[in-house]
């Protein structure tokens, strides 16, 4: 498994620039780092092949699309060995934008985006809590997103 210490300084600098602005052309990155555009392209291909770079995404403001409620759902399973079965069902729910297998109180901690509280209620009662193997859920509604940023690479 590739780790940050396996990457050299140039790899980290390229990643740092792209994490701030994924639309920046490789030629502009090359100029900033005093290397050729081909070097940046080859390095990015290597980072993709190693699984460091998993792809690119368009970040959108969900509220501008009518999804005004962001909430976090702690999911309690009947038995921990049901995790894989349950997560496959959760993956089919488009409102679930991320989910984590966790330690602590919950087996699964999921982030969901809904249009309003009625949408959230229906999602919980008719879709999530209806999944076989889920014992119960606990929902936290986000009032504001204060921080949303990519990881910052350390300079070592």
Q: Are residues 78 and 17 in the same domain?
A: no
Q: Are residues 39 and 89 in the same domain?
A: no
Predicted TM-score (pTM) of this structure = 0.81
Domain total in the chain: 2
Task: Please give the residue range of the domain that contains residue 25.
Answer: 8-49
Question: Is 56 buried (19+), middle (13-18) or exposed (0-12) by CB count in 10 A?
Answer: exposed
Q: Say what percent of the chain tops pLDDT 90.
A: 77
- What strand order describes the sheet that includes 96-101? 96-101, 108-114, 69-77, 134-141
Q: Are residues 35 and 96 in the same domain?
A: no
- Mean pLDDT for the chain overall: 92
Query: Over 60: is that where the pLDDT of 156 sits?
Result: no
**Calpha distance 65→57 (Å, rounded):** 17
Q: Are residues 66 and 93 in the same domain?
A: yes
pLDDT tens, residue by residue, 67-96? 999 999 999 999 999 999 999 999 999 999
Please name which of 102, 99, 91, 105 lies closest in space to residue 136, comparing C-alpha atoms.
105
């Amino acid at each position: 498994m590739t780790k940050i210490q396996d990457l050299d300084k140039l790899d980290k600098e390229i990643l740092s620039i792209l994490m701030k602005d994924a639309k920046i052309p490789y030629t502009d990155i090359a100029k900033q780092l005093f290397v050729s555009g081909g070097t940046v392209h080859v390095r990015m291909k290597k980072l993709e092949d190693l699984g460091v770079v998993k792809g690119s995404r368009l970040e959108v403001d969900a509220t501008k699309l009518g999804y005004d409620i962001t909430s976090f759902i702690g999911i309690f399973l009947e038995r921990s060995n049901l995790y894989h079965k349950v997560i496959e069902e959760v993956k089919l729910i488009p409102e679930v934008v991320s989910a984590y297998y966790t330690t602590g109180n919950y087996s699964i901690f999921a982030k969901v985006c809904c249009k309003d509280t009625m949408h959230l209620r229906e999602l919980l009662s008719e879709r999530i809590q209806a999944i076989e193997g889920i014992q119960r859920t606990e929902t936290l509604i986000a009032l504001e997103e204060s921080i949303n940023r990519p990881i910052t690479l350390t300079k070592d």
